[in-house]
Chain A
Amino acid sequence: MSVAEAEAAELSLEDQSGLWRDAFERLRRNPGAIAGALIIVAFAAVAVFAPALAPHGPNQQVGRLAAVPPGPSAEFPLGLDQQGRDVLSRIIFGARLSLLVGVVSAGVGLTIGMVLGSVAGYFGRWVDTAVMRTMDLMLAVPQFLLALAIVTALGPGLVQIMVAVGIANVPQFARLLRGSILAQREADYVLAARSLGAPGRRLLLAHILPNSIAPVIVQGTLAMATAIIDVAGLSFLGLGPADPRLTEWGKMVAENAGRLESAPHLVLFPGFAIVISVLGLNLIGDGLREALDPKLKS
């Protein structure tokens, strides 16, 4: 038993860490992921503490109505819009909606996609064929166009937009998870669990899914980014939240697109906000992809 003891002693010197902690360690060593995480934390903080951070209310008229509103100044760092509202405050409050949109849309897509993907991947045969051909059909239509069609059918509105973008995301998630499950389904540890009498439901939920989920999580962060862009795009096309009091970055860009030359700050600053938040999500997504890559697991 001395060999075993030596082995144990050697192992106890190593950091006692779990799989997810290993992934976290790798994530921490990735500067891109750190930058992304900082951006997203800042983004979330701005959204949560918007009332405290914003110098003015999002719909509060702090300047005069003006056909050509004033640009950045010491008093209003990002300028005013033509109704005399503070652009900085509007962007800060807009973060709430964008965050909500990103989380809800990606969540809707992730949830439905995961259910469909696991059912297809685990049961196989005709279930797989039926689900995956439907997904192929949805994938044949460009994602944005699909969201556009769904929101047209549902009618304009915030909830409708989030659901539409979410549904348009379903095929990606379903496909990804199905492939991942197919790869894991025949794994040795699944066979070992079967040999101990584990029922199918437990095989899927406790053994196969946790091993298949990493790429889906990565896709989730990337889907949040595209959801923000898609919702901004749909808002831009006038399908956004009908309530004029709701501040949304895409809508801000859309409303002022025609003033790009006379008052560029109305378009550029909300545009920057979109770009930066999406960049942050993409950086995190890429970092996660590397951290969770099974090929890198020792």
Chain B
Amino acid sequence: MALLRVEDLAVRFETRKATIHAVNGISFELEQGETLGIVGESGCGKSVSSLALLGILPKNGRVTSGSVRFGGRELLELSDAQMREVRGRDIAMIFQDPMTSLNPVLPIRVQIAEALRKHLRMNDDQAREEAVRLLQRVGIPAARERVDDYPHQFSGGMRQRVMIAMAISCRPKVLIADEPTTALDVTIQAQILEVLRQLVAEERMALVLITHDLGVVAGLCERTHVMYAGRFIETGTTSDLFARPRHPYTLGLLKSVPRLDAARKERLEPIQGVPRDLRSLGEGCAFAPRCLYATDRSWEETPPLRDVAPGHRVACWNPVPDADLPDRGAPEGEAG
């Protein structure tokens, strides 16, 4: 049985002017030790989905339907207090911006101890020892000396390591990393991804890697879900998606990323148009206004996810034909 099973999860935000349909029925499964990628552009509902899993949506956000089953329990039905027991212990999260996600007035020791004290009932001394061990684990040099330092005494990459140490402190079974490398520069990105990769391998943690960076998924994820306007529009193994993208949006994403092995004069092709306004989603494919392959049906009926190959599903009425695929294999992991 899957460790985490999300079915038809939908999240809405009520604002004074309108209802934002942030997430519109996503489903996925996660096995122990698996690394799953969720890719999409800003505002497509990636982060909101993960906040919804943990039950920490902003006040005006609400899960309107769906189910999140973890280890046989329905998380969406848990009380606040029960949910607090799940957070940090079973499912933990790493946030995008390490510069703002650490409390500036507390030494990092206290912040790492947060979950240890709550979930594992450690006392100060135990928590301190464990914090040192965790910092060593994520590759912070001189961990014992630095455990009492404040966040502003660390660089961005080091802070993200501290964030990871916080998230893995209670050995959660599922780790959600929401754009863990976006705020970091490229050399540091690779280091952070390496830390994550090791953790997943050694602790048998399941990792949900949320990113807009195709290079990151290529290096780390076995399976990838492409998200657009709050829906998964294509899912499959990462190599399938890179080699044979069937959804025009996935193809567009791939074409808009530069490649090292490209012919010199190959131009990048941006996706035309702007992301969908999530206030006014009606029937029809949300990508249709920007799509070269849109048919009449695309405008009238929302396409469901359908199998196009074993393990490869696409939500499109007119999937990209083989002839239009660029000549490219799955890229080398840029993250390694």
User: Chain A: residues with CB nearer than 8 A to chain B?
Assistant: 1, 3-5, 7-8, 11-12, 14, 16, 18-19, 124, 186-189, 191-199, 206-207, 210-211, 297-298
Contacts and interface: CB of A to CB of B under 8 A. Distances in A.
B336 interface: no
A7 B104 contact: no
Contact of A189 (B89, B101, B107): B101
Given A11-B155, A192-B95, A207 B118 contact: no
A196 B88 contact: yes
Contact of B163 (A11, A12, A192): A192
Interface in B38-66: 51, 54, 56, 58-59
Contacts of A196: 87-88, 92, 114-115, 118, 166-167, 169
B309 interface: no
Contacts of A1: 139, 141
B7 interface: no
A197 B81 CA distance: 9
Nearest to B141: A8
A211 B103 contact: yes
Contact of A192 (B152, B153, B166): B166
Interface centre among B102, B145, B150, B188 (most CB of A within 10 A): B150
B155 A189 contact: no
B100 A195 contact: no
- Residue of A191, A195, A199 with most partner-chain B CB within 10 A: A195
A5 B158 CA distance: 11
Contact of A186 (B58, B86, B101, B140): B58
Nearest to A294: B104
Nearest to A195: B93
Contacts of A193: 103, 111, 114
A297 B105 CA distance: 12
B230 interface: no
Chain A: interface secondary structure?
A: helix
A251 B84 CA distance: 57
Given A11-B155, A188-B100, A211-B103, A197 B85 contact: yes
A196 B86 CA distance: 9
Contacts of B191: 3-4
B184 to A, nearest CB: 12
Contacts, number: 108
22 contacts: A1-B141, A4-B191, A5-B141, A7-B155, A7-B158, A8-B158, A11-B155, A16-B149, A18-B150, A187-B100, A188-B97, A188-B101, A189-B100, A189-B104, A192-B95, A195-B56, A195-B93, A196-B92, A197-B85, A197-B114, A199-B118, A207-B103
Closest 3 CB pairs of A and B: A196-B88, A197-B88, A197-B87
A12 B142 contact: yes
Given A4-B139, A8-B142, A188-B97, A206 B106 contact: yes
A5 B119 CA distance: 32
A192 to B, nearest CB: 5
Contacts of B146: 8
A206 B179 CA distance: 27
A192 B102 contact: yes
**Interface extent on B, as a size class?**
35 or more
Interface string B118-160: 1100000000000000000001111001100110111101100
B152 A298 contact: yes
B56 A194 contact: yes
Contact of B54 (A19, A188, A195): A195
Contacts of A18: 107, 150
B187 interface: yes
A19 B118 contact: no
Contact of B157 (A4, A195, A211, A297): A4
Contacts of A187: 100
Given A191-B56, A197-B87, A297-B152, 7 more contacts: A4-B140, A7-B158, A8-B158, A18-B107, A191-B51, A191-B95, A194-B54
A7 B139 CA distance: 12
B87 A195 contact: yes
B84 A211 contact: no
Nearest to B154: A11
Contacts of B102: 189, 192
B103 A189 contact: yes
A18 B105 CA distance: 8
Contacts of B163: 192
A194 B87 contact: yes
Interface in B284-322: none
A109 to B, nearest CB: 24
A207 B89 CA distance: 20
A4 B118 contact: no
